[in-house]
Amino acid sequence: MAYSGLDIDVSGPSSRNGAPSRSVLRKGDTVAGRFALVREIARGGMGIVYEARHTFTGRRVALKFVAPDVREQDLARKRLLQEAESLGCLRHPGIVEVFDAGISNEVGPYIAMEMLEGRTLDGILAARRTLSIEQTLHVARAVAEALGCAHRHGIVHRDVKPSNIFVLKSCGGVEAVRLIDFGIAGAVAPFGEVNRDRLTQAGDMLGTLDYLSPEQLANPEIADPRSDQYALGAVLFECLLGSVPAISDRLAGPSRMPDLKALVAGIEDHVVAAIMRSLAPKAEDRFPDTEAFIAALIGSKAAAAVAIIARGAPGAAAGKNEATGVTRRRHRRAPYIAPCRVLRADGSNIDGRSEDISEGGLLVVLSQALRMGAATPSSDAVESVRVRFALPTTGVVATVTGVVRWLKDGKGRAALGIEFDGASDEVRASIATYVNLVGTNLPEG
């Protein structure tokens, strides 16, 4: 993820490709006459997502549009409009809601979606590595039900992975889960056949390798609901063990994969059997639909338990001393997803995103493994860094000095706990205001 500050070059390659007319957008600028940009939330291969406010209602929305540096602008815009159409026909509590879509002079095609407060499953796993069985089943049920809705409407998500699963902050004890990013969704086609309306090109590899089914690896244009089921099975496997099986083991089948029964204490046989069946190399050997998959998973006492995902169980590694019941953290924190850049003393930069924030620091997730001075959460070793990010209430880009107090380094991702040691009054006031406005269901920190 490349950090771009608050100025976005949206000039595009040429007017022939329908590029927007303006060259730069900044905080406060208006898109489509009604969405005022506040701050960048995320940037992917083709899209940028901004927090924006509706100029008439004041409603906060997540505004998605095409990244200006994408080479295939026409293709990217068509995919974005297809995503808008897909989301527009889906109404389900487990699927992100779209409020508006259109084509503007400023950015071209855009989608205005509900603004979610919480953390991605990817960020939670980066910080915690695994979930409990109860929490894993909670994710399974929510995502499977959302996928079932999409499949009944003839839509295959095609990119189910932890970064596209969002865990909202709790309002009543049980975290809500949303499936997001239908950017490469496709219409259902008979298995083994290619959907000729897909917006793909020769050589495209859509989705993320760790979660792609064998049939998608062989032919990226395959659009079969059982491919989504496979991806969800891989996500659940990772929730329980902290990593997905290697591609070679997945292609060989469950007999080559790690034994969940032996490695996850207390897991029930039918849960293991259901996950392994969802990961069958041949689509016809999986469940016929996600409803059958979730029916096979649910049925244990664990599945009915209340799942608190983002903060974990009381006394978990998030920071409570079980002997005294006293938290180690000094500041309230709240979910806050935004691009950030970590500037190291050796002059190197690391781009990532924050997942939560407090006056005392940031939780930063990186989409890469990393070696730094702070080896483990319990290590006394630290590394001095500077971190650059947009302040949550003002959108002003700040650079704050701090130290990396802990690092969790896993396969393909890392999480850093950065403690501020040089935050200005402006920075602290912005963060404090945001935390008080948003509230928090996370442990103190």
**Are 64 and 48 within 8 A, CB to CB?**
yes
Q: Just list the catalytic residues.
A: 159
Report CA torsion sign: 29, 31, 32, 34. Answer: negative
**Are 236 and 136 within 8 A, CB to CB?**
yes
Rounded CA gap, 435 and 334, in Å? 5
- Name the one residue in this structure whose structure tokens are 């069958």: 280
Rounded CA gap, 8 and 10, in Å? 6
Nearest Cα neighbor of 366 from 385, 394, 392 is: 385
Rounded CA gap, 215 and 280, in Å? 11
CA 128 to chain centre: 15
Rounded CA gap, 122 and 127, in Å? 9
Rounded CA gap, 251 and 358, in Å? 43
Rounded CA gap, 437 and 52, in Å? 17
Nearest Cα neighbor of 404 from 421, 417, 413 is: 417
Q: How far is CA 300 from CA 229, 239, 259, in A?
A: 20, 18, 20
3-class SS of residue 153? coil
**Are 46 and 70 within 8 A, CB to CB?**
yes
- Phi first, then psi, for residue 346 (nearest 5°) are -80, 5
Q: How many helices (H) and strands (E) does the chain have?
A: 11, 19
Structure token pair of residue 341:
């850049």
Any residues with CB less than 8 A from the CB of 214 and at least 6 apart, and which? 230, 250, 251, 281, 282
**Are 119 and 355 within 8 A, CB to CB?**
yes
Rounded CA gap, 110 and 96, in Å? 15
